[in-house]
Amino acid sequence: MGAHHNRSDGERERLPYDLPPIPEYVEDEYVEDDYSKDEYAKDEYVKDSVGVSTVAASVDNELPPIPEYVEPESADDVIEEEEKEVPPIPDYLTPEEEEAADAREEASESRRTWLRSVLEFVGLLAIALVVSVVIKTFFIQAFVVPSGSMETTLKPGDRIFVNRLADSPDDIERGDIIVFSDPNNWLSAPADDGESTGLGSFISRTMETVGLLPADSGQHLVKRVIGVGGDTVECCDVQGRMSVNGVALDETYLDPGIAPSDFDFSVTVPNGQLWVMGDNRGNSNDSRQHHEMDGNGFVPNSHVVGRVWSVFWPYEEMHVIESGRDVFKNVPDAK
């Protein structure tokens, strides 16, 4: 075997010349030629992820922006928008048609106005009736003075208000003017004038009942209280005066020249009863006459309607009734 040179694994045979270094790889630059970019883009196809071929967009043109998501309008919004956008349909009326329409509108408004007026009147009348009945029943009632027995304190035809709350023995005192119902046929039956069944009489009675008209005094009387239960009433002393429980009275409510009584008397009033007299003593059919005729000249407290409060008609005579209690201020209570 020829000479053989053993080389270690790490040794290499030196070449008679040095090899140049291997140049690094440089990517070839695109050299633009007559084949333009636009034409290249038009002919180039690419595959997408699902294998569908799409045409690549031009490298010089940008893709349009993706529009933002807009919430679709609801059906109600669309309807409202359409209603707003639709203009009203104009009315095309002839002058005659317009005149007829105006006349119908005026007639309809007139009927509505009339109906409202009727309803208001009926409502007010109902309220007035209710209020009047309540007032008459519990508070105040109007009466007409029928005669001259109380002149000149009260004159025939005067309209008076009576306080119905003052009808008990605790409310009625000596000197008060009261209205009371006929206790024992003091009044003769009213004459029948033939109109009691007429419409006018019916309306008058109805309005008197509800208190819209003053009640006449067909079954009522108006007098002044002189004595209450237990009192002794006498007339007349040596000076012609009347006395109660031994105290002579100076009756200032009598007109000058009016005598306290045309005849003498002396009575003791039973408990629960009243002794009454008119201010016009010579023209008053009161407790004196009925006591002399039938021995029953007293008025039960239960017959009292109330105390006279004022005169409200005639207008020029309107005034509050002055109390006559001062005349009896020195009279002691009955024993």
- Residues acting as catalytic residues: 149, 223
Q: Under a CB-based contact definition with an 8 Å cutoff, are residues 41 and 56 in contact?
A: yes
Q: Which residue intervals of 139-225 are DSSP H helices?
A: 199-210
How far is the C-alpha of 240 from the C-alpha of 223, rounded, in Å?
Answer: 21
Partners of 274 in the β-ladder: 299
Q: How far apart are CA 149 and CA 277, in angstroms?
A: 9
For residue 7, what is the enclosing H or E element?
A: none
Q: Is 252 exposed, middle or buried (0-12, 13-18, 19+ CB in 10 A)?
A: exposed
DSSP string, 10-74: T--PPPSSPPPPPPPP-PPPP---SS-HHHHHHH-EEE-TTS-EEEPPPTTSPPPPPPPP-PPPP
Structure token pair of residue 310: 């004022």
Q: What whole-number distance in Å separates Cα of residue 332 and Cα of residue 156?
A: 34
Q: At CA 313, angle to CA 274 and CA 226, rounded to 5?
A: 15
Using CA atoms, how far residue 23 sits from 19, 20, 26, 153, 307, in Å, is 12, 9, 9, 151, 143
282 touches 254 (CB < 8 A): no
The identity of residue 168, as a single letter, is S
